[in-house]
Copies of this chain bind each other. A is one copy, B any other.
Amino acid sequence: MNKKRILKGDILFSKNKEELVQIKDGYLLVDGESIVTVCKTKEEMPKDFEDILVEDYSEQLIIPGLIDLHVHAPQYTFRALGMDMELLPWLNRYAFPEEKNYKDTEYAKKSYQVFVEDLKNSATTRAGIFGTIHRESTEILMDLIEKSGLYAYVGKVNMDRNSPDYLIEETKESIEETKRWIQESKEKYKRVLPMLTPRFVPSCTAELMKELGQISKEQKLPVQSHLSENKGEIAWVKELHPETSCYAEAYDEFGLFGNEQNTIMAHCVYSALSEREMELLKQQKVWIAHCPESNMNLTSGLAPVKKFLKEGICVGLGSDVAGGTKLSIFSAMADAIRVSKLYKLYVDEEEDILTIPEVFYMATLLGGSFFGKVGTFENGYDFDAVILDDSKINQKGLTLFERLERVIYYGEQGMVVKKFVKGVEI
């Protein structure tokens, strides 16, 4: 099989946060796993592509795959339920009792199958995923993702304090299970890697956190968790860790906050209230997963995303199912713009609102940077792409930019025609 291919269609991708490249009837040139270049005409193509058949997706949109930096796989079963509750009653009524079920590997298999199938059918190609505290079920989730062709970092969750009796680990058990899980999964997959996942500071003892920091360092493993999601939570962390000057320090003191190991922190709604936290996010190159729908649904608040962007912090988007109700990262882009408008109105009138190029950049190139050279169509980047048939909402006279806008507000449901991840059609 020839490894070179040419895809023709209406191409959109980010160069940077300002520049959204739009090429009507363009050609995307690929060699195996990687992007070669994008050409406006056939004449521009390099000689070694002369004899390659053009795969014609004219009138359809070709974009980089979207990146979901924060999603809870076990919560997909109760998405869009209890959304008129606030965080704590919702966790107790839905999240914790449901996560308990994943002790049963048969249950996990069935539920995770639905989650992975729907993620595969979305425009998302790569994700940072929370499992539950259960090692075996987490490995089932990893198996399913590997098979799907998606790429992901997946975490077995750690919880050894302040958690319900039915969803808590002994400290030692948590550490041992984590080590065993890493051993079993670290080299097993091509597309899936383990990621250390302390649920959040209140549910992990200092002993556990210290050990996880050690594991991260020794085994060069990335980390994901939650940071500064709501005010009550922040006050609670301060109470648990009076030695810290901000929530971020309660991870950093255990070596779980960026630097050598890549780290994703979800939410950061109130991070800008602490200069120190902003400094740590920036200097230690932590990725933020902004989850605007979840932050509205759980009455968390309006995150200062434009500020993060201006500061040069890597802020991508997360669906945060089931705090968010949908897997669609297009939907997260639309909500991110809405949230930035309300932020301007209710938090800081000096702040600007997010633009379409910015949210697209967050959802592709900036979020993608967590996975390496991922999220755009420039030379050498992984060939991750989604082809969308937007004919149902397209209309005469719309520019490529406007067609993208409409897809952002309507979501990809029913539009995904083809999907490629690192060169493989899935």
Task: Please give, as numbers and ranges, the residues of chain B lying within 8 Å of A301 by CB-CB distance.
Answer: 345-346
Nearest B residue to A300, CB-CB: B345
Task: Please give, as numbers and ranges, the residues of chain B lying within 8 Å of A346 by CB-CB distance.
Answer: 301-302, 342, 346-347
Which residues of A from 296 to 328 have beta carbons under 8 Å from B? 296-297, 299, 301-302, 325-326
- Which of B86, B302, B395, B406 makes the CB contact (< 8 A) with A353? B86
Chain A, residues 248-272, CB within 8 Å of chain B (1/0): the string is 0000000000000000000000000
Nearest B residue to A407, CB-CB: B80
Asked if A406 and B80 sit within 8 Å, CB to CB, the answer is yes
Asked if A402 and B81 sit within 8 Å, CB to CB, the answer is yes
Task: Please give, as numbers and ranges, the residues of chain B lying within 8 Å of A86 by CB-CB distance.
Answer: 341, 353
Given contacts A409-B325, A413-B413, contact A299 B344 (CB under 8 A): yes
Asked if A297 and B83 sit within 8 Å, CB to CB, the answer is no
Given contacts A356-B84, A413-B413, contact A338 B296 (CB under 8 A): yes
The docked-state distance in angstroms from the alpha carbon of A338 to that of B83 is 9
Give the distance to chain B from A87, nearest Cβ to Cβ, in Å.
Answer: 10
Give the interface centre of A82, A84, A334, A393 by most chain B CB atoms within 10 Å.
Answer: A84
Known: A80-B393, A84-B359, A326-B410. 4 other contacts (CB 8 A): A80-B405, A83-B405, A346-B346, A413-B413
- Which of B80, B296, B345, B355 makes the CB contact (< 8 A) with A84? B355
- Which of B84, B326, B353, B406 makes the CB contact (< 8 A) with A354? B84
The docked-state distance in angstroms from the alpha carbon of A299 to that of B338 is 8
Give the distance to chain B from A139, nearest Cβ to Cβ, in Å.
Answer: 24
Asked if B342 and A302 sit within 8 Å, CB to CB, the answer is yes
The docked-state distance in angstroms from the alpha carbon of A58 to that of B356 is 43
Asked if A81 and B406 sit within 8 Å, CB to CB, the answer is yes
Give the interface centre of A338, A347, A402, A410 by most chain B CB atoms within 10 Å.
Answer: A338
Give the distance to chain B from A93, nearest Cβ to Cβ, in Å.
Answer: 11
Give the distance to chain B from A154, nearest Cβ to Cβ, in Å.
Answer: 23
Give the distance to chain B from A85, nearest Cβ to Cβ, in Å.
Answer: 9
The docked-state distance in angstroms from the alpha carbon of A37 to that of B191 is 57
Give the distance to chain B from A86, nearest Cβ to Cβ, in Å.
Answer: 7
